[in-house]
């Protein structure tokens, strides 16, 4: 099957077909997500928190993102791979933004990029789209600027900020983005933005009315224990299972139970008999 394209993602909204997106940071996970039929794989800068152990997404660099995006691209055959532009790779000026966006496509094999921000990023989105690079926008709770927003909190809680979110969504769509992530807003606001833009909205904590959904894979699998936002559904709880496997490994190596015959190559005892060590 051929790889999904941005126009096909847009067509899904027109046909009322829900869109799926998950994050991945390495080859093996990308391959499994791809095989499960997920439409888009986001190499999110959540990499910083769930894989690299940073306190936030702010320290993540272009080089770190590209390194992981390359691995994801090698694992994904059908899903559209979106590279997440890290903090300060697009905020300084549109020229730098276009160059850095281009690196995700040329060096890492992604098919699109994502960046955070609304009206204030419209010009940058336009420049990247003009360079021929498909863009996914991201509004609502934007983790790179969470400090300025007062922390990892529900956004668009009053009429003024709800109107601003609507304006941001329209600006991103008019600037040429082909999809829009909306993070951590009340369901009614997710619905209003989805109805007011022609491009698909991909919600994360933005309710059931968005055109698609995205989750951080490590959250969905129950593999990130530091905190779990309210909008995360754990489709599996792997942390205890993984820790149990590690403990049993330690016990079996210590007791000599592993490796047993089944996991060893028999023979070899006589090969060095005449060799005088």
**Residue number of the CB atom closest to ligand KIV:** 44
- Give min distance, CB of 268 to ligand KIV, in A: 49
Binding region for ligand KIV (CB under 6 A): 23, 42, 44-46, 84, 138, 181, 204, 214, 216
- Give min distance, CB of 272 to ligand KIV, in A: 54
Query: Who contacts 166 (Cβ-Cβ below 8 Å, separation ≥6)?
Result: 189, 192, 193, 196
Residues paired with residue 182 on neighbouring β-strands, in sequence order: 139, 203
- Give min distance, CB of 255 to ligand KIV, in A: 41
When the beta carbons of 202 and 261 are compared against ligand KIV, the nearer one is 202
- Give min distance, CB of 123 to ligand KIV, in A: 21
Contact 192, 159 (CB under 8 A): no
Selection from 95, 21, 96 nearest residue 62 by Cα: 96
- Give min distance, CB of 217 to ligand KIV, in A: 9
Q: Which parts of the chain fold into alpha helices (H)? A: 6-14, 27-35, 47-50, 62-75, 94-106, 122-130, 159-174, 187-196, 217-220, 238-255
Selection from 135, 123, 141 nearest residue 190 by Cα: 141
Token digits of residue 58: 């702010």
**Residue 183 annotated to the active site:** yes
Cα–Cα distance measured from residue 122 to residue 221, given in angstroms and rounded to the nearest whole number:
34
Please identify which of the residues 107, 116, 120, 183 carries the catalytic annotation: 183
Cα–Cα distance measured from residue 28 to residue 244, given in angstroms and rounded to the nearest whole number:
21
Q: Which residues are catalytic?
A: 183
């Amino acid at each position: 099957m051929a790889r999904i394209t941005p126009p096909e993602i847009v067509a899904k909204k027109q046909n009322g077909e829900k869109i799926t997106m998950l994050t991945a940071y390495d080859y093996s996970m990308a391959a499994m997500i791809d095989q499960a039929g997920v439409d888009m794989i986001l190499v999110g800068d959540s990499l910083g928190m769930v894989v690299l152990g940073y306190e936030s997404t702010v320290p993540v660099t272009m080089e770190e993102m590209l390194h992981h995006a390359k691995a994801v691209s090698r694992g994904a055959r059908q899903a559209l791979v979106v590279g997440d532009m890290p903090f300060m790779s697009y905020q300084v000026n549109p020229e730098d933004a276009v160059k850095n966006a281009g690196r995700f496509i040329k060096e890492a094999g992604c098919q699109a990029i994502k960046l955070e921000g609304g009206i204030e990023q419209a010009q940058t989105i336009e420049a990247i789209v003009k360079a021929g690079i498909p863009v996914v926008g991201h509004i609502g709770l934007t983790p790179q600027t969470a400090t300025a927003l007062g922390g990892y909190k529900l956004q668009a809680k009053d009429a003024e900020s709800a109107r601003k979110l609507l304006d941001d969504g329209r600006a991103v769509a008019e600037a040429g983005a082909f999809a829009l992530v909306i993070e951590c807003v009340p369901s009614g606001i997710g619905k209003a933005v989805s109805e007011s833009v022609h491009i698909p909205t991909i919600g994360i904590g933005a309710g059931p009315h968005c055109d698609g959904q995205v989750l951080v894979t490590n959250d969905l699998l129950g593999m990130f224990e530091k905190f779990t936002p309210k909008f995360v559904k754990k489709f599996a709880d792997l942390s205890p299972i993984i820790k149990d496997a590690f403990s049993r490994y330690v016990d079996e190596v210590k007791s000599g139970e592993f490796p047993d015959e089944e996991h060893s190559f028999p023979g070899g005892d006589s090969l060095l008999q005449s060799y005088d060590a």
